[in-house]
Amino acid sequence: MKVGIIGGTGYAGGELLRLLLSHPKVEVCIVTSRKYTDEYVYISHPNLRGITDLKFSLPDSEKIMGSCDLVFFATPHGISKDLLPDYLDRGIKIIDLSADFRLHNPAEYPEWYGWEHSHPELLRKAVFGLPELHREKIRDAHFVTCGGCMATASILGLAPVVKEGFVDTDKIVIDAKIGSSGGGSDPSLAGHHPERFGGLRPYNVVGHRHTAEIEQELSLLCGKEVKVAFTPHSMNAARGILVTCHLWTTGQLQNRDVWKAYREAYDNEPFVHIVKNRKGLYQLPDPKVVLGTNLCDIGFEIDGHVNRLVILSAIDNIVKGAAGQAVHCYNIMNGLDEKLGLKLIAFH
């Protein structure tokens, strides 16, 4: 299948290229960038030197629609909502990595993103691109919207215990740590190395936009409104996410109950591992050992002292939290082996 990538110079676009260029069922024919038009893609993504001679091109919609069967949007938030409808009208399959179509309710965009949605009629047509929750819908979809990176880690960690009714859904606290690549590739003072190095900085302490999609997906899962308190922190690493979720149980909970819930949810999932070991240094999830992969490691501990359940979830924010999720959805949409192009071993 011939595919295009709109917005190929960012970190998510670079990871898409890394994964798709070695995918046996993909031909990347167009990668766009206004800033780097006619430059080789390896100028922005030096790890691709010797792998491809592709050059960035201007985002010419007619050319892209005439050349591609499927298009990935790896554009900044707020861009794809105005570009994407024309592609859908022409029957082009779409996988959008931005936040523009993640929320079903258009009234939530002014609250969480600060703008009115220009195409609210498309929000219900977009399938939320988390295969572990929406595989069958993704299989028949023409338009998939991938989840946010911290939302992905949080939803996967929480979904089984919320679905089983083990916890109070009015009081879920999520503490997230994320590497600097989560802020995107545009330089800022917050991402400047001397400011970031050695620090652990909270930001958007209340009202972070990923709260909305976490609440949306968990509420759909359990059939009632779920409330989440979410706070992220920038950590001294380039990539990776660890979310620590604090939940209060509705009754007496045993380890075997939680194990059973996770096994039932994820036993057949190729990219989810339950990590709760008794030996070794990495007894619980740590983003360090999933970097470069599409894996999500999930672990838990029960705190009987205060009837608390602690869930830990670790991913690579640019792979499982962005490009890898998109490729996983691509495989499902096209009836391919889900692991195709994603059989990646983490480095340690």
Tell me the catalytic residues: 149
60: CB partners within 8 A, 6+ apart: none
Nearest alpha carbon to residue 94 among 57, 127, 60: 127
